[in-house]
């Protein structure tokens, strides 16, 4: 940055400070991971020494992105950026915020992304995997985001557009990409067009006290609204959060390692999922060392789930196809789940996208599953798969091993507690298995 430019930015932020006398900055929340801790302890984050306020047109229309970028640049390397409470910020430009270093972003106000679907489809950040795109990319080192404010993805236009065209590229609300060491906490995320959080190429990040919600107000449901998807990331903690959505509550995509998820309330979701994995035949996916603890799961398709594509190409829908990818899922613990109105309390499938079990078994998955522990589950399933409450389906005994289930007390509304078990060692799973194919894959 040129000196004159720098002075201008500093002058602007000094001016902003004087304008906002009386406004306060939120103390950085002290985040405690409890009762479990990430494998790598959180790095200390030094206190910030400068304050920058983000200006706003506050008119719900004009793009405030230039103000946001200038505040971030002015306060990068040791500052505290404030989005005022009672102020609305409109974002109409895809923001590359991967340059952040030692900065706190204090979002007290309301941030809304514009409804310009043409602009966003052309400019949002492409994440390659499953055609995912994000409104912004936030990354760098030692970044804390908090403040109690709201990010609003203006999802309704997207839910309606997707109903007309499944190839619509719906942006993810919160893109954490290439962030190493940081915390994201005390935020409300609402009406995301697609997933709420995408965490890629990142390490040692804690998400805590996040509230997620947003239902469609038309007859077009909000689809693929995963709470979190992690990808090519290590040491991510997600805790103490409430998720009301319509797809995975948390999902560990390819190359997610050393993940901790604890104290979650999920409603309306597809469960806490490993996968889907093995979708791309030319890729190798690893998911290892995952600990999920203390989850209440209501009105969901699944509680704890591992979904792997089979060895041959399959199709789930026109815009979701795959199979044949290699890799391994290993050392996964799902401990302490309270389920209510959940279709399957526990599900392992290596036949994702292939409803025909015969075809699935003919082409066993090239992605192995081993050392999986399900412990302490209680509650009731839904009626959807009566008399079943769970599903443990491997495509071959050779690619599935050391699956354990203990203290599983989940019954259907009819009092039954059956699991479908295919190609799995039944001596280590303390559930009532049936090997009848009820056609529910």
Ligand X SMILES: *[C@@H]1O[C@H](CO)[C@@H](O)[C@H](O)[C@H]1NC(C)=O
Phi, psi of 122, rounded to the nearest 5 degrees: -85, -30
Q: How far apart are CA 187 and CA 203, in angstroms?
A: 20
Q: 137 - beta bridge partners?
A: 96
Minimum distance between the CB of residue 426 and ligand X, rounded to whole angstroms? 11
Decide if residue 431 touches ligand X (CB under 6 A).
yes
User: Site map for ligand X, 323-342, x if CB under 6 A?
Assistant: --------x-x---------
Taking the least distance from each CB to ligand X, the nearer of 102 and 262 is 262
Give ∠ CA 372-241-131 in degrees, rounded to 5: 70
- For the segment 393-422, give every residue that binds ligand X (CB under 6 A): 414, 417
Q: What CA–CA distance (Å, rounded) separates 337 from 112?
A: 34
Both structure tokens of 32:
């405690």
DSSP 429: B
Please identify which residue in 219, 317, 427, 436 interacts with ligand X, judged by CB under 6 A.
219
When asked if residue 284 is in the footprint of ligand X (CB under 6 A), the reply is yes
d(CA 209, CA 184): 9
Helix or strand holding residue 4 (H, E): helix 3-19
Among 285, 335, 343, 347, binds ligand X (CB under 6 A): 285
Q: Tell me whether residue 183 or residue 225 sits nearer to ligand X (CB atom).
A: 225
**Looking only at residues 343 through 372 of this chain, which bind ligand X when binding is defined by CB under 6 A?**
356, 358-359
- Residue 41 CB-density burial (10 A; 0-12 exposed, 13-18 middle, 19+ buried): exposed
Instruction: Determine the interface stretch with ligand X among 99-107, 179-187, 277-285, 305-313 (rule: CB under 6 A).
Output: 277-285
Please state the closest distance from residue 143 (CB atom) to ligand X, in A: 17
Based on CB atoms, which residue is closest to ligand X, 49 or 413?
Answer: 413
Q: What minimum distance in Å lies between the beta carbon of 216 and ligand X?
A: 9
Residues in region 233-262 near ligand X by CB under 6 A: 244, 254-255
Instruction: Choose, by CB under 6 A, the member of 17, 69, 95, 169 that binds ligand X.
Output: 169
Pick from 218, 216, 209, 212: nearest CA to 244: 212
**Closer Cβ to ligand X, 144 or 276, answer by number:** 276
Candidates 72-80, 284-292, 374-382, 396-404 — which segment interacts with ligand X by CB under 6 A?
284-292
Is the separation of the CB atoms in 216 and 185 below 8 Å?
A: no
By CB under 6 A, how many residues form the interface with ligand X? 47
Rule CB under 6 A: is residue 220 a binding residue for ligand X? no
When computed from its CA atoms, the radius of gyration of the chain, rounded to whole angstroms, is 23
Cα separation, 440 vs 422, in Å, equals 13
Pairing of strands 133-134, 125-126: antiparallel
Active site residue 20: no
Site string for ligand X, 14-33 (x = CB under 6 A): --------------------
Closer residue to ligand X (CB): 64 or 104: 64
Catalytic residue among 73, 80, 270, 291, which? 270
Q: Which residues, numbered 110-149, are part of the site for ligand X (CB under 6 A)?
A: 115, 127, 131
Q: What angle do CA 403, 408, 413 make, to 5 degrees?
A: 125
436 binds ligand X (CB under 6 A): no
Tokens of 416: 């039954």
DSSP assignment of 186-220: EEEEE--SS-SEEEES-EEEEEEEEEEE---SSSS
Residue of 319, 375, 378, 433 that binds ligand X (CB under 6 A) = 319
- Please tell me whether residue 61 binds ligand X under the rule CB under 6 A: yes
Q: Helix or strand or coil: residue 391?
A: strand
- Quick check: 344 and 388 in contact, CB under 8 A? yes
Peptide bond between residue 35 and the one before it cis (omega within 30 degrees of 0) = yes
- Give the active site residues: 270
Q: Give the residues lining the site for ligand X (CB under 6 A).
A: 39, 58, 60-61, 84, 86-87, 115, 127, 131, 157, 167, 169, 177, 200-201, 218-219, 232, 244, 254-255, 267-268, 283-286, 289-291, 298-299, 319, 321, 331, 333, 356, 358-359, 386-387, 414, 417, 430-432
């Amino acid at each position: 940055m040129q000196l004159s430019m720098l002075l201008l930015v500093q002058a602007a932020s000094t001016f902003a400070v004087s304008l906002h006398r009386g406004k306060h900055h939120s103390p950085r929340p002290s985040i405690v991971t409890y009762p479990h801790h990430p494998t790598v302890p959180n790095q200390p984050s030094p206190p910030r020494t400068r304050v920058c306020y983000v200006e706003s047109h506050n008119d719900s229309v004009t793009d405030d992105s230039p103000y946001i970028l200038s505040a971030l640049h002015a306060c990068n390397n040791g500052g505290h950026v404030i989005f005022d409470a009672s102020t609305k910020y409109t974002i109409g430009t895809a923001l590359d915020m991967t340059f952040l270093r030692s900065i706190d972003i204090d979002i007290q106000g309301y941030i809304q992304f514009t409804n310009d679907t043409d602009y966003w489809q052309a400019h949002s950040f492409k994440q390659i995997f499953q055609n995912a795109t994000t409104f912004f990319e936030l990354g760098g080192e030692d970044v804390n985001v908090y403040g109690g404010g709201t990010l609003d993805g203006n999802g309704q236009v997207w839910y309606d557009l997707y109903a007309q065209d499944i190839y619509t590229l719906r942006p993810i609300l919160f893109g954490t990409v290439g962030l190493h060491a940081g915390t994201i906490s005390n935020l409300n995320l609402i009406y995301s067009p697609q997933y709420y959080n995408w965490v890629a190429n990142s390490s040692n990040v804690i998400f805590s006290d996040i509230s997620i919600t947003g239902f469609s107000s038309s007859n077009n449901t909000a689809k693929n609204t995963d709470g979190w998807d992690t990808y090519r990331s290590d040491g991510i903690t997600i805790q103490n959060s409430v998720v009301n959505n319509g797809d995975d509550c948390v999902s560990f995509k390819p190359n997610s390692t050393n993940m901790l998820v604890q104290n979650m309330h999920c409603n309306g979701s597809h469960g806490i999922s490993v996968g889907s994995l093995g979708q791309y035949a030319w890729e190798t996916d690893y998911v290892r060392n995952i600990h999920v603890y203390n989850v209440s799961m209501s009105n969901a398709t699944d509680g704890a789930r591992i979904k792997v594509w089979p060895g041959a190409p399959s199709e789930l829908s026109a815009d979701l196809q795959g199979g044949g990818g290699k890799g391994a899922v290993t050392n996964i613990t799902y401990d302490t789940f309270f389920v209510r109105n959940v279709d399957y309390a526990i599900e392992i499938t290596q036949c994702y996208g292939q409803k025909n079990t015969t075809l699935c078994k003919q082409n066993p998955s090239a992605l192995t599953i081993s050392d999986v522990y399900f412990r302490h589950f209680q509650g009731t399933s839904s009626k959807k798969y009566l008399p079943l409450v769970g599903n443990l389906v491997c495509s071959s005994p050779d690619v599935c091993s050391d699956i354990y289930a203990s203290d599983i007390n989940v019954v259907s509304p009819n009092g039954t507690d059956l699991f479908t078990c295919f190609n799995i060692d039944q001596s280590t799973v303390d559930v009532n298995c049936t090997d009848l194919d009820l056609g529910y894959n």
